[in-house]
Amino acid sequence: MTGSRVAGKTALITGAAGGLGQAMARMLVREGARVALSDLDLNGARALAEAINAEHPDMAFAYEHDVTREDDWVRVVGAAVEDMGGLSILVNNAGIGGQLLWAEQDTLENWRKVQAVNLESVMLGCKHAMAPLRASGAGSIVNISSIAGLAAAPGMGAYNATKAAVWLYTKTVALEAAKAGWNVRANSVHPVFIKTPILDPFIAMAGGDEANAHEKLARGIPLKRIGEPDDVAYCVLYLASDESKFVTGAEFKIDGGLTAQ
C-alpha cells in the first residue's frame, strides 16, 4: 500500500545504501516520491533500487557517488535530474563517525576525512542541487546532522565539529533561499543513537555485544531506548512534504528527550 504525502516529488538521498538512507528511501517511495540513491557502495545502492523497483516499478535509481568530490556531485545531480525529470528534494545523509579520539590524540588525517564526508559534502550538495530545486517550484533540503552537533562528548571532537557546522550552515542556506525569493526550504535533523552501523565502534567497545552496547547507550536517554531508522525517516518525510511548507531554518531533534534534560 502506498500513500501520497510526497506524490510526484523527486528526491536525491546520499549514503542511501544502508542505515538511515535506506529507511528514508523506502519511506519516501511508499509515499509517492521517486528516489535517486547515491552511495560510494554502488552495489548496495543498486540492490536497494532493485528491491524498491520490484514493489514500485521505475521509482528508484542508483548512482556511485563519492560525496567529497565536486565532479561527482555535478555528475550525480545531472543524472538524477535527467532520470527523474527534475529534483525537488535533497537529503544530505552521507556521513561517518570517524575515530573516537580525544583532542590530544586526534590526527589531522582523521579530522580532515570526517570534515570532508560530513560537512564539505553538505556544502557541495546544497551548491549543485540548488538550481534544480529552484526549478521544481517547491524544493526541500534536509541535512542530517546529529545531537552530537548540539551537545558535545569526549572523544568525538571531529564528529561534533562537523555536525555543529551542518546545523548552522543549514540555517544560512535557508535564509539565503528565502532572501532570494526562491521556494526552497532547508532544515536539519538531529538524531541521537539510532540502530545503524554508525554505532559499530560502541559495539566494539562492548566486546561485540550489541544488546549490551545498546543498553548502555540508552541509559542517558529519558525514553530509555535508542532509536530506529524509521524514527528519523518519518521526520525526513515531513520535511520533504508540503506539510512543512512554512518550515525553514529549523532543527529537529530525534533524541528521546536527551536534550530536554
| Cβ-based neighbours of 95, under 8 Å, separated by 6 or more | 15, 117, 118, 144, 162, 198
Gyration radius of the chain's alpha carbons: 18
| Cβ-based neighbours of 183, under 8 Å, separated by 6 or more | 134, 137, 138, 139
How many angstroms separate the CA atoms of 176 and 164, rounded?
19
C-alpha cell at 67: 560525496
How many angstroms separate the CA atoms of 228 and 146, rounded?
14
| Cβ-based neighbours of 174, under 8 Å, separated by 6 or more | 185, 186, 187, 248, 249
**Would strands 89-92 and 10-14 be described as parallel, antiparallel, or unpaired?**
parallel
> Which residue among 159, 169, 234, 238 is the active-site one?
159
Tell me if residue 159 is catalytic. Answer: yes
The DSSP element (H or E) to which 161 belongs, if any, is helix 157-180
- The catalytic residues are 159
